Structure 1
Amino acid sequence: MSVPSKFTGFTLSSPENWDKPKVQQYEAKPEKSHDVTIKIQVCSVCGTDHHIGSGGWGPYGRDDLVVGHEIVGTVVKVGAEVKEFAVGDVVGVGAQSNSCGECDLCLNDNEQYCEKSVLTYNQADMFSDGYVTQGGFANYTRVTEKHVFRVPDGMSAEVAAPFFCGGITVFSPLVRNLTPYSKQKVGIIGIGGLGHFALQFANKFGWEVVAFSRSSKKQQEAAELGAHHFVATGEDSDWVSKHSNSFDLIINCATSFSAIDLNQFIDVVKPGCKLIGVGLPDFHENITVNALKLGMSGKFMGGSIIGNKKEVKQMLDFAVKNDIKPWTEVFSINEDNYKKALTKISKSDAHYRVVLTDFDEFFNKLA
């Protein structure tokens, strides 16, 4: 298959027009020897798409920005030094498209934290002539081999796509901080696009799972997803004393940190254990904790983003083995459904991920 020199996508001109894309062509990223070119089948929607599209994480790097980084498609071309993939392979791409591959982080399975890491969109790629990257709401994408992942046999594109950001974002801190199939207690704050993955993973790893939400509205769904216990923090005034110093790990999957009293969650983590944030808010948002309380607690707070390549493979294999799937709303891609999908994400109104499909049908009509 011949690959065009220009790709076509849903481009954004400014943060004010984050929900008004223009479908147009743009120059493809220069092809390097380790690059894999992918014809996109589906791309699901992540909160980051709205954060960056609306300017919440800073200015655009180009005036024809394409967002989207939960991508599944078919390999149509590989660079001369690509060893892992061949034309015809079904693969996925997440939130990272490049890294240096040489630093201590990259060489020790922490490539997502590489200081020269390149996001899948809206970042100048120093390894590709400074090209400002473009995302997955398009007909093609081109990504270095290190950040491409094979989709397991039997897993559909619609099911696979949300794993490449939403899934791995919670899987990585879970497996890095807890021992699978041990008698440990994990708390998941927020039952949404990230939290609904975390509840399923934690349950299948055999841990005691507690879901936290402000109200009891999602209690039944939390149980269906794998929670053994449910805490409605806005309805139970004694929840902190009931769970004091009892959690081996708490993952904060909520979109906003400032809407949560983190001091309360510090109280319920065991000394030596962690409260980890994975739901990323807009750039301007800060968190506040009592310094004395934290300093005297023997507990730790931190953050985590996506995961390494080994963890992505482990996650996908684990999901297939344990029949873990995202809860999704699926729409055929077009201008109206693009706006609908991104608006749902912006309002935290998705149940729980949104997947845009039928890319071939849409982009073939434009050819």
Structure 2
Amino acid sequence: MSNTDYKFEGWGAFGPDSIEGKFKWFEYEPKEFADDDLDEVDSRRPTVPVKILYCGMCATDLHMASAGWFDMSAFYPLVVGHEIVGEVVRAGPMVEGGLKVGDIVGIGAQSDSCLKCARCREHKEEYCDEGQIGTYAAIYKRTSPGSKSRGGYANYWRGPSHFVVPIPSNLDPAAAAPMLCGGVTVFSPLIKYGAGTTAKDVGVIGIGGLGHFALLFAKAMGAEVTAISHSQRKVEDAKAMGATKFITTHGHVDDAIKGHERSLDLIICTTSDPNMPLSDYLRLLRPGGTFVMVGAPEVDAMPELHPFFFILNNVHLTGSAIGSPARICEMLQFAGDHNVRPWIKRFPLNEVNKAVPSMHAGEARYRYVLVNEDNGGKL
């Protein structure tokens, strides 16, 4: 254990069955110290630790804990959680961003990159040429090479200060937590592809954790928003989040989109359904429109698409990954200024084995946030 006066402890996934409610509390060795980390050890290694107050629960946590996307055997026991809000408790002179003791800060899904390539220099760290270093389930390269990254279902977090952002005072820290991944994942493409400006009509496929953020942000940006879901039961929720139109597929997409063809400038697709009728959804786009995938199914294949569809319709199919620290700051400021508030339910951190199975069963409406009461988080 490192020579600090506090322990790094958290809820670990010890195997794929952890999402059944089998996370275990354990003590672990954090990332090795580095000069630009958040953690104070001595005058030679100025750093700052973050005492975790809140951690949003992201669908990625479940995909990773259950090894749904990748083989996780090298990372078990795995501490997930990459929507972290906490308090800086120590600060040293080499920490970036002027962070100081008492600041309320956030850490999203990325905790490091090379910081040297063209992408990093352009504030597009999420597309670093050497790849993202995730806030958990990754191996640090630039700093403390070989150390594993650990997430936020825990008491403390340690990592490079470059990826730590201040939480604006006009945002509830608990509500800000799920924005750090779920929020910025949809905010980034909405901003990039002109929601409310060049893209007046925006569609959102999938009204879940990501989809609800897309509705809230698209409306706040001034777009006319269409919610697209297989379920009629979310109509009223979607309207409350800003949707003015609702397309219910009920598994019969061809019939559902009749009369809506070429009506949208931009579509944000949040579903993780591997059998999504992609070609039908693309018919909703006007020529020049953009379809952005942010949901990721636990499969390798995509539905077949014919080249002539793109040639004759001039539609664009693309994807988008999280957001840089600069983009996260922009999003948090926008949320505070425009009163964007996610729909959250809080769980005490010690009820993680109740919250995870509930989320896995699709019961979240629409994001869960774990509250570390021992560290001062408020239920």
Give TM-score, length-normalised by structure 1: 0.92
In 2, the alpha carbon distance for the partners of 1:191 and 1:249 equals 16
2:211–2:270 Cα contact (<8 Å) kept: yes
Structure 2 equivalent of residue 38 of structure 1 = 50
Residue 63 (structure 1) shift: 2.8
Gaps of 5+ in 2: 39-48
Map 1:67-78 onto structure 2 (within 5 A). Answer: 67-78=80-91
Query: Aligned-pair distance for 1:154?
Result: 3.1
Any idea what the Cα deviations from partners look like across 1:16-68, whole Å, max 9, x if unmatched? 33431221111121121111221101111000000000011212233321011
> For 1:154-201, what per-residue CA distance to the aligned partner results, in whole angstroms no more than 9, with x for missing partners?
322211101101100100000000154557111000111011111111
User: 1:44-63 residue pairs with structure 2 within 5 A?
Assistant: 44-60=56-72, 61-63=74-76
Instruction: Give the whole-Å Cα distance in 2 for the aligned partners of 1:209 and 1:76.
Output: 42
The 3-state SS of whatever aligns with 2:96 is: coil
List per-residue Cα deviations over 1:233-291 (Å, max 9, x = no partner): 226754433122221110001122x2320001111112222111112222x24221322
Q: Deviations over 1:66-112 (max 9, x none)?
A: 01111100012335421311121100111101011110111112111
- Tell me which amino acid in the other structure corresponds to 1:327: W
Quick check: 286-295 or 217-226, which moved more?
A: 286-295
Partners of 2:335 and 2:187 in 1: how far apart?
10
Residues 337-346 or 196-205, more deviating: 337-346
Match of 1:355 among 348, 369, 374: 369
Which of 281, 287, 303 is the matching residue for 1:271? 287
Q: 1:3, 1:76 within 8 Å by CA — same for their partners in 2?
A: no
Matches within 5 A, 1:163-312: 163-178=179-194, 180-181=196-197, 184-234=200-250, 238-256=255-273, 258-282=274-298, 284-292=299-307, 293-312=309-328
**Most deviating of 293-302 and 158-167:** 293-302
Contact 2:344 2:368 in 1 (8 A): yes
Contact 2:51 2:375 in 1 (8 A): no
Q: Which amino acid aligns with 1:201?
A: F
Instruction: Answer yes or no: is 1:88 the counterpart of 2:98.
Output: no
Aligned residues: 358
User: Deviation digits for residues 303-335 of structure 1, max 9, x if unmatched?
Assistant: 11111222211111111111111111111111x
SS of the equivalent of 1:217 reads: helix
Residue 116 of structure 2 corresponds to which residue in structure 1? 102
Q: TM-score, normalised by structure 2?
A: 0.89
Distance 1:219 1:179, change over 3 A: closer
1:321 and 2:337 are equivalent in the alignment:
yes
Larger deviation: 264-273 or 10-19? Answer: 10-19
**In structure 1, what is the Cα distance between the partners aligned to 2:122 and 2:199?**
29
**Residue in 2 that maps onto 1:12:** 13
State whether residues 98 and 125 of structure 1, in contact with CA within 8 Å, keep that contact through their aligned partners in structure 2: yes
Cα-to-partner distance string for 1:328-359 (whole Å, 9 max, x where unaligned): 1111111xx21221112222221100011134
Q: Distance in 2 between matches of 1:313 and 1:361?
A: 24
Contact 1:46 1:345 in 2 (8 A): no
- Corresponding position of 2:135: 120
SS of the residue 2:232 aligns to: coil
- Percent identical pairs in the alignment equals 37
* C-alpha distance in 2 between matches for 1:3 and 1:324: 38
1:139 lines up with 2:155 in the alignment: yes
Write the distance in 2 (CA, Å) between the matches of 1:66 and 1:359. Answer: 18
- 1:247 maps to a residue whose letter is L
CA-atom RMSD in angstroms = 2.0
Give the Cα–Cα distance (whole angstroms) in 2 for the partners of residues 187 and 271 of structure 1: 15
2:24 to 5, 22, 25: 22
Of Structure 1 and Structure 2, the greater strand share is in 1
